[in-house]
Amino acid sequence: MGDLATYAFTGIGLVFFAAGSAGLLRFPDVFSRLHALTKADNLGLGFIALGTSFQAGSWRDVALLALIWGLMLLAAATVSQLIARDALRERDGE
Amino acid sequence: MERTVRTAFIHRLLFTSGVWVVLSGTDVKALAVGAVAVPFATWLGLRLLPQRQHLVLGRLVRHFPAFAGGSLIGGLDVARRALSPRMPLSPGWVEVPARLRDGGRVAMGAELSLMPGTLAAGVRDDRLLVHLLDTEAGFERAIPREEAAIAAMIVEAGPSSTAAGGAP
């Protein structure tokens, strides 16, 4: 039962990672690409962490997975703002 | 004032202790190192980033379902656009008045970057620049809602404590 949940959730996570990568390659400019990376990869890692947590041996492993996801979320959301701000400055020639 | 600093220290100490235990476990050696490292990190954190605003944790928790739902829709929306052969995009910009400051502003930018179709790209002349993935989809309607939700979580700790989120 746990294994089935792991397959299902990590599978969903991989689809989101693939979609994020597709957006990174296909979208026309840096801003649109950031949408794909932050939003799709957030869910990708979230679902993989959720799937992996069904294999966890202790509450600490689950908390660790949640912590990794949270830190990645924080990093992605912060860095995407910085890249967007910088790209905008460059575009406007400041 | 002394009292607010002590409260802030205790709150942050609890948070950092939690992170430490999750990272290094409840082994005696790990706890011994943590007994030194955690108070030091908390003290350093307070020095580098003094408490100017504090979070209302209950409101943060209450906002979580909306955040989780919004980021799920956001991820599904961008995944659909990225994988669709037609790749429906209509990128554009909106500017909104940036009412929050400091950490609240950063938090709102981070939140918007995970909500459907919006991406914060900094503040210029007190206006928050938001990139929209599709200008026809009405993504910008979520901006004031997110701002109000974040404003409700923040209480200014300074002497001039006014209710956040009201008119500028």
**Where are the domains positioned within chain A?**
2-91
**Contact between B94 and B130 (Cβ < 8 Å):** yes
**Contact between B146 and B128 (Cβ < 8 Å):** no
User: Does position B72 have pLDDT exceeding 80, yes or no?
Assistant: yes
| Structure-block tokens of residue A45 | 């890692």
B98-115 mean pLDDT: 88
pLDDT given for residue A94 in this prediction: 64
B35 to chain A, minimum CA–CA distance in Å?
19
A contacts of B80 (beta carbons < 8 Å): 19
pLDDT given for residue B32 in this prediction: 95
B122-141 mean pLDDT: 91
DSSP bridge partners of B118: B132
pLDDT given for residue A1 in this prediction: 79
Burial B7-18 (b: 16+ CB within 10 A, else e): ebbeebbeebbe
pLDDT given for residue B158 in this prediction: 56
User: Does position B162 have pLDDT exceeding 50, yes or no?
Assistant: no
Give the pTM: 0.85
- pLDDT range class, residue B125, cuts 50, 70, 90: confident
Burial label for B139, CB within 10 Å (0-12, 13-18, 19+), is: buried
B136-148 mean pLDDT: 91
* R_g (Cα) of chain A, nearest Å: 16
B23-30 mean pLDDT: 91
Residues of A within an 8 Å Cβ radius of B: 15-16, 18-20, 22-23, 26-29, 31-32, 34-36, 38-40, 42-43, 60, 63-64, 67, 73-74, 76-78, 80-81, 84-85, 87-88
* Complex confidence, ipTM: 0.90
**Cβ <8 Å between A20 and B109:** no
B103-127 mean pLDDT: 90
User: Does position B2 have pLDDT exceeding 90, yes or no?
Assistant: no
pLDDT given for residue B83 in this prediction: 94
- Phi/psi region, residue B25 (left: phi>0; alpha: psi -120 to 50; beta: rest), is left
Of the listed ranges A1-15, B34-48, B145-159, the one predicted with least confidence: B145-159
pLDDT given for residue B8 in this prediction: 86
B165 vs B146: CA distance, rounded Å: 11
- Could you read off the pLDDT of A41-87 as tens digits, one per residue? 999 999 999 999 999 989 999 999 999 999 999 999 999 999 999 99
- pLDDT range class, residue B157, cuts 50, 70, 90: low
- pLDDT averaged over chain A? 93
A12 vs A58: CA distance, rounded Å: 24
B129 → closest Cβ in A42, A43, A88:
A88
pLDDT given for residue B55 in this prediction: 82
Higher pLDDT: B25 or A18? It is A18
User: Does position B142 have pLDDT exceeding 60, yes or no?
Assistant: yes
CA nearest neighbour of B100 among B160, B159, B53: B53
B163 vs A39: CA distance, rounded Å: 31
For residue B113, the chain A residue with the least C-alpha distance is A77
